[in-house]
Structure 1
Amino acid sequence: MSNSRAMTYALPPLNALRAFEAAARHLSFKLAAHELHVTPAAVGQQVKALEARLGVQLFERLHKQLILTAAGQAYLPGVSEGFRHIADATAQLKPAGAVLLQLGVHGSFDLRRLKLAEFRSAHLEIGLQVLQPAGLHELAEGKVDLLIARGLGHHPGHRCDRVNEGSGLGDWLIVPEGTADCPEVVSFREWLRAAQAENPLANHRPRLVG
C-alpha cells in the first residue's frame, strides 16, 4: 500500500530499541545498563532479541569490546532521532494550568524535610506529586520525573545533586540530564537546597543503612 496513513507502524519493541541506542552511544553494555538502571545481561539480551527480530547483526563483540557493524551505524541515527522526536513531543504536551511534577523518594527518607505544603503554596504553578518508596527503576521507567535516592550519586546521563552535606553515602536528587534545567525542576532543586540549609541537623542525624 502506498498510503502511509493506512499503515500500521512496524516497530520493534521500544525497550529493545532503547537498549540498542544506549549501547551504541556508549559502545558498552555495562554503561548502557548503568544509564537504563538494568543489568548488562538484560541489555545484551534485548540487543540480541532486536538483532534476531531485524535479521541483521548490529554489533561486533570482540574481547569485551563493542563495535557497531555497518548495519548498526546505519540504524543508530534514525533510532536516536526517533527518540528525540518522542521526547520533544512529550515535552510540548504541558497540561493547562499547573505543570505536573512527579517526585520519587526512597523509603527511609523523612518527607517532613521537604516542607511539601510550603512548596505547593509558594509554587501554585507546579502540581507536585510524591511517590514513596521509589527508586532508580521508577525513574528509568518514567514513573517519576526526579528522584531522591540513597547512594553515591554517580549515574551516567543524569544530573546528581547532593541533598545533605558530607561525603560518601548520602541522599541525592537525581534528574535525567535532558530535563535537569526545566523551570519546575530548577524550582524544586532550589527549594530543596534552601530547606536543607534551614534544617542542617537533618543532614547529620545518624541513620541506619541496611
Structure 2
Amino acid sequence: MTYALPPLNALRAFEAAARHLSFKLAAHELHVTPAAVGQQVKALEGRLGVRLFERLHKQLILTAAGQAYLPGISAGFRHIAEATSRLKPAGAVLLQLGVHGGFDLRHLALAEFRGAHADIGLRVLQPAGLHELVEGKVDLLIARGLGHHPGYRCDRIDEGSGLGDWLIAPEGTADCPEVVSFREWLRAVASRTSLAGRPRLIGVIGR
C-alpha cells in the first residue's frame, strides 16, 4: 500500500506549533528558527489546500481544519515514537554531543562518563558548531564563543569572562535526564580537579 503523506518535517512543524500555539516555542522544540517553522506550515497548508492556523497579531489560533487535523497527526507521531522505543534496549538513551574543533576531549574524561552511565549511549561529533545543534545533528554542544544564544541554555565551562567554552542545549531539552546527567558530570569533573589542586577545567557551570 502506498501512503499519500505530506513531508514529515512539515507535519512535525504543524504538530509542534499546534501544541504550543506558537511558532517560537515550536522552533525551540525542533531546534530550528521560528521562520523555518512558519515556512514549513505554510508549505503544508499549500499542499493540503486548507488553512490550518489563523495568524493574528502575536497570537496563533487553530482553524477548524487545524483542530480536526491535529489529533490524528499527534497520534501518528506517538505511535512512531512508541514503535521506535520498543526497538531500543531497555533503558538505553542516545546522547549526541557536539564539540568545537579546538577543545581537548581529555578534559571531559568521557570513558569514565560512559562507565558511570551505562544507560546513556554517548556519541561525540568533533568538530561541530551551532549549525549542527540547530539542525538537530547533536543534542548539546560545547562551543567557543560568548554564550549568548536566545532559546538555548548556555553554561560556561571554563574560567574567566568574555570569549570562552560553553555547554549549550536547547531550552526545550536542557532538562532531559541524559542532558542533566552530562551537565552534572561536568560539575563533578570541575570539583575533582579543583580538590586535586590542578587548574579548574570548569568555572561557571552549576553556580
Q: TM-score, normalised by structure 1?
A: 0.70
Residue 181 (structure 1) aligned to one of 156, 160, 177: 177
Which ranges in structure 2 are unaligned for 5 or more consecutive residues? 195-199
Given the alignment of the two structures, is residue 172 of structure 1 paired with residue 172 of structure 2, yes or no?
no
Q: CA deviation at 1:187?
A: 4.8
Which ranges in structure 1 are unaligned for 5 or more consecutive residues? 1-6, 206-210
SS in 2 for 1:199: helix
Q: Deviations over 1:13-72 (max 9, x none)?
A: 011111111222222223322332323222221111100111111011223422110111
1:136, 1:116 → 2: CA distance? 21
Over aligned residues, Cα RMSD in angstroms?
A: 3.6
2:41, 2:88 → 1: CA distance? 33
**Which residue pairs with 1:74 in the alignment?**
68
2:141, 2:16 → 1: CA distance? 21
**Which residue pairs with 1:115 in the alignment?**
109
- Correspondence list, 1:198-209, <5 A: 198-200=192-194, 201-204=200-203
Q: Which moved more, 1:119-128 or 1:78-87?
A: 119-128
| Structure-2 change in CA distance of 1:86 and 1:154 (3 Å) | farther
SS in 1 for 2:88: coil
Q: CA deviation at 1:148?
A: 3.7
**Which residue pairs with 1:42 in the alignment?**
36
Q: Which moved more, 1:60-69 or 1:162-171?
A: 162-171
Aligned length, in residue pairs: 194
Given the alignment of the two structures, is residue 91 of structure 1 paired with residue 90 of structure 2, yes or no?
no
Q: TM-score, normalised by structure 2?
A: 0.71
| Structure-2 change in CA distance of 1:83 and 1:99 (3 Å) | closer
| Structure-2 change in CA distance of 1:23 and 1:108 (3 Å) | farther
| Structure-2 change in CA distance of 1:32 and 1:45 (3 Å) | same
1:17–1:50 contact (8 Å) kept in structure 2: yes
- Correspondence list, 1:13-162, <5 A: 13-95=7-89, 100-123=94-117, 127-135=121-129, 137-139=131-133, 141-149=135-143, 151-152=147-148, 155=151, 160=153, 162=155
Q: CA deviation at 1:144?
A: 3.0
Q: Deviations over 1:62-87 (max 9, x none)?
A: 23422110111111122222222222
SS in 1 for 2:50: coil
| Structure-2 change in CA distance of 1:172 and 1:152 (3 Å) | farther
SS in 1 for 2:29: helix
SS in 2 for 1:203: coil
